[in-house]
Amino acid sequence: MSAPPSRRKIAERLLPGNVEPDPRFTLANERTFLAWIRTSLALLAGGIAIEAFTSNLFLEPVREGLAVVLLLLGMLLSAGSAVRWVRVERSMRQQEPLPLALTAPWLAGAGALAAAVVVLSILWR
């Protein structure tokens, strides 16, 4: 049974390439995408929690800044994970090397920055 014509057009536009990858690799790519989405949801929840429940822990500008950083990280990670999924899938279909993963280093850096703000805020009190 073949895919409907509209599905084929979308797939060809979004994922060009002559080779259909092994389903195990496609599913592994999908699981990785979902793991990044889980992480972005945790960042969003953390940003909301910081703003909602820590008014007596942090000074207002620190609290708002930390919440905004976490929320922006969650948004960027969500979008970045979708782009990464498409780039990896395209690479597999075109039998090219996988693209460099830039998401992890900038996420680690931003997470370290957020942690440093929390530590400094606790020490400052």
Tens digit of pLDDT for each residue in 49-64? 999 998 888 889 989 9
Residues whose CB is less than 8 angstroms from the CB of residue 54 and which lie 6 or more positions away in sequence, other chains included = 63
In angstroms, the CA 120 to CA 122 distance is 5
* Structural domain contains residue 52: yes
Of all residues in the chain, what percent carry a pLDDT higher than 90?
50
Q: Where are the alpha helices (DSSP H) in 54-102?
A: 60-93
Q: How many domains does the chain have?
A: 1
Domain assignment of residue 10, yes or no: no
> Which pLDDT score is estimated for 9?
76
Residue identified by tokens 């259909």 is: 20
User: Domain containing 102: what range?
Assistant: 21-124
| 31 lies in some domain | yes
Half-sphere exposure at residue 7, Cβ-oriented, CA atoms within 13 angstroms: 4
**Residues near 28 by beta carbon (within 8 Å), at least 6 away in sequence:** none
CA contacts within 13 A on the Cβ side of 102: 6
Q: What is the pLDDT of residue 92?
A: 92
Checking if the pLDDT of 3 tops 60, the result is no
Note the pLDDT of residue 2. Answer: 59
The interaxial angle of helices 60-93 and 23-53, nearest 10 deg, is: 170
pLDDT of residue 24: 96
What are the pLDDT digits (tens) for 14-68? Answer: 787 778 889 999 999 999 999 999 999 999 999 999 999 988 888 899 899 889 9
40 assigned to some structural domain: yes
Is residue 8 in some structural domain? Answer: no
Q: Which residue has the tokens 């919440």?
A: 67
Buried-state track 58-76, b at ≥16 Cβ within 10 A, e below 16: beeebbeebbebbbebbeb
